[in-house]
Structure formats: C-alpha cells, structure tokens
Amino acid sequence: MEARKASVALTYNGVDAPAPASFTYEDVASGSSDSVSLGMTDRDRKWIGPWFPVKGDTLQPTIHTENWEQDGQSRDFPCGTFHVDDFSFSGGPPLQMRLEALAVPTDSSFKTTERTVTYEDATLQEIGQEIADRAGVVLFYEAPTVSIARAEQSNQTDCDFYNGLVKLYGLALKIYNDKLVVFSEATYESRSIKTTLTEADFEPNWTWNTKQIGTYTGIKYQYTNSDKNKTFTVEAGGGDRILTSNAAADNLTEATAIALAALNEANKGTTTMSVTLKAALGLIATDCVNIAGLGKLSGKYFIDKVTHNIGSGYKMGLTLRKVEQRFTEATNVSSSPAEGK
C-alpha cells in the first residue's frame, strides 16, 4: 500500500499561503463557532514583515489526503472560511507563529456588542434573519417554524441571545463558514449511522461515562403570565426525578415547546464517549456513528465535536453522546386564570 499522506492547503486573504507546520480544526455540532489553530514557521521572516496578520483577515484551509483509505485515492475536505481572532510569535530559530481563527467575522458586532431589543409577533427564523443581517452573514434555517409572541434581548450580544433563544425552543445553532445554521438535533439524531467504529479503531485511553445526577424522567412546568392573566401548566414523563421550570411564555403552545425542550436538553449527554483515531474521512459533527463490540457501551452515538489534528500525522478526536429517547409529547397541558385574579 502507498504511504498515507495528509496536508493542509491554505488560502489567506484570497492568496495561496505556505502550508502550516501544525493544524487543528474544531468542527462543533452546536453552541459555538467552528475554529482553527495554525502553527506557522516563519523562516523568511515574512509573517513579521509584509505578511503581518491583521485581526479579521480571512483564511480558508483545505485538508488534502492521499492514499488514505486506498491506493491512488486523493480527497479534499474544505474546512470553510475563518477570520483571524488571535495570533502570537515565539523565538527560534526559526521564528514560529500561532494563528487562531473563528468562523464568524471578528469585526462584526455579533459577539461583542450588547443590545436591548424587543421582538414581537415574529418567528424564530425572522429574528435570526435580522441578527444575521447585522452580522453580515447568511442565515440557513433548517427547522420547523416557531412563532414567538415576544422575546426580549436585554443587554446581551446577538450571539448569546440568539443561541439561548434557539435552545429555549429545543433547536440548535451552529456557526460555520460565515453562516448561522439553525437545525433540529432531534432530526439529525434520527438519521442513519455514517459508519461503525470498534475498539480496534481507537487509540488507547479512550473514555466512556454515564451519569444519573442532572438527568430527569419528567418535567413539571408552571408559569403565570400576569399580562395575560393566565397560568400555564405542562407536564411530561413521570417517575421520581422531575425537573421543574417556570421559564416565561406568552401562550400554551410556547409553554409546551419550552417545557419539552428543557427536559430533553437536561437529559442530553447522559452517556458520553471521547475517542481518538486515525482520521475517518467524511465524518463531521452532527453525524451519527455506531459503536460496536463494547458490550453495554455499544450503541448509536451523535458526534458533538470533531477535532482534526495534522502535524506529524493526521488524527481525529471525536466527542460523542449516546442518542437517547426524547420526550415529544406532554401528558398534561392546561391554561387557567391566575390565582387571585
């Protein structure tokens, strides 16, 4: 078999740049932006001269592999567009530069400017579009329509506010390639597995963990909306580990969605695994894999994060959580006049 090879081709501000000496790419399913970290060798001292980075510079790395899964195979994996957020130099010789970049423009107000805004009679998609327009990025909405009577952004950045709002209704936000991507993790969890992995694929020191504390068999939600003079009650599940919630809602439909989302979010990540393996081409965050041959540890797992590391070789770290049964229906839903009114 021909020797496996992995390298990174780098475009910097639209121009081909030298390949990094080391490269890490974190591909996350939701909750934060994708990111890259590059180690550059500055033998010609150009990075401290005419190529000196500026925060906000754009870079586009592509992972290139040869003979990885079979002889003669050549594959490219574009990682997306990133913007320089942080960089540093250290002495040599030769000089070394460490460059950190994020998938969201660092010069946008998305992650920095705190705002106070009230959104009324809008959908989650419409609110996201307004926020994406302010950040100068694209909104990709791949989720059911969520109608929101009123949402208040109070001294929050657009990033923190919208990520929290999306999660409140049981959805997820991924920041990737100058895009805000809103999607249903439940939908992705239901998809077919991408591949099967066994212990033979893992490097030593992989870990598996399960917990009961912080997980629940049901929820009791109750919130009194004084403006509507209504108390909303939602119950789901049962048993003796009951989550309580009183998050604000404007109607019973909102209350039900919020209650179910809170219960499923609390139970997400009950069972987790962390493994490192020789890079499995094509695996991305949000994929599902089958873990086999590990007895009661086996099963269907959702990929929360993929960490690509390229230096002396090409390794891939996977952060996984077991796909759990979700609560999709409430057992008791009611709206009643607020007490004392």
Residue 60 and residue 18 share a domain: yes
Higher-scoring residue by pLDDT: 212, 308 = 308
**Residue 260 falls within a domain, yes or no?**
yes
**Structure tokens, 180:** 């805000």
Q: Give the chain's domain count.
A: 3
User: pLDDT tens digits, residue range 119-134?
Assistant: 999 999 999 999 999 9
CATH code (residue 153): 3.55.50.30
Residue 156 and residue 76 share a domain: no
Residue 332 and residue 257 share a domain: yes
Indicate whether 1 pLDDT > 70.
no
Indicate whether 341 pLDDT > 80.
no
Q: Mean pLDDT for the chain? A: 94
Indicate whether 308 pLDDT > 70.
yes
**Residue 163 falls within a domain, yes or no?**
yes
**Structure tokens, 151:** 């949402």
- DSSP structure class, residue 204: S
Q: In which domain, by residue range, is 160 found? A: 114-183
User: pLDDT tens digits, residue range 34-86?
Assistant: 999 999 999 999 999 999 999 999 999 999 999 998 888 999 999 999 999 99
Residue 254 and residue 149 share a domain: no
Tally Cβ neighbours within 10 Å of residue 170: 23
User: pLDDT tens digits, residue range 239-261?
Assistant: 999 999 999 999 999 999 999 99
Position 284 confidence tier, pLDDT thresholds 50, 70, 90: very high
In degrees, rounded to 5, the angle at the alpha carbon of residue 20 between the alpha carbons of residues 16 and 26 is: 105
**Residue 203 falls within a domain, yes or no?**
yes
Residues 6+ apart with CB under 8 A from 40: 18, 20, 21, 47, 96, 97, 98, 99
Residue 119 and residue 84 share a domain: no
